[in-house]
A = this chain, B = another copy of it.
């Protein structure tokens, strides 16, 4: 069994953003040399998500509007977490809906995806450097 670890760094200028990180995950897989196994991709922060869904701008606008309705940013005083001086309680809730991680099968040295399965990093509290962890286990 071999394992391979790679940190991917991102910094978004906006508070919220979608980034298709499939190319970086594929590059990590190629670097690992692993042909069969499992690839874990998780955000290392609790105000961001990693998920798989369509790379389509309209859908991302729908996600934005939907998440804002389910867990509104304002008024910030509605959240007890924000009593600590933070203003990102909504980011923790939104990340819960979208997820922390994906696990992807590795087959024949490739990410074993269906026809429309890009991996996204979603930022809910940007403006600083944040990390995604890729961990590949196999042989």
When the two chains form their complex, are residues B61 and A80 in contact, meaning their CB atoms are under 8 A apart?
Answer: yes
Could you name 23 residue pairs across A and B whose Cβ atoms are closer than 8 Å? Answer: A1-B1, A1-B37, A5-B107, A36-B137, A37-B137, A38-B137, A42-B105, A45-B116, A46-B114, A46-B117, A53-B92, A53-B96, A56-B84, A57-B80, A58-B84, A62-B92, A63-B93, A63-B96, A66-B93, A96-B99, A105-B133, A112-B135, A137-B138
Closest to A113 in B: B44
Q: A44 is contacted by which of B71, B93, B115 (Cβ under 8 Å)?
A: B115
Is A103 an interface residue, CB under 8 A from the partner?
A: yes
B residues in contact with A139, CB < 8 Å? 1
Q: Smallest CB–CB gap between A4 and chain B, Å?
A: 9
14 more CB-based (< 8 A) A-B contacts, given A43-B114, A46-B117? A36-B137, A38-B38, A42-B105, A44-B117, A51-B100, A53-B95, A53-B96, A58-B81, A59-B89, A61-B81, A62-B89, A62-B92, A70-B70, A100-B102
Chain A residues at the B interface, C-beta cutoff of 8 Å: 1, 3, 5, 36-38, 40, 42-46, 51-54, 56-59, 61-63, 66, 70-71, 79-84, 89, 92-93, 95-105, 107, 112-117, 131, 133, 135, 137-139
Q: Smallest CB–CB gap between A121 and chain B, Å?
A: 13
Q: Summarize A's interface: helix, strand, loop or mixed.
A: mixed
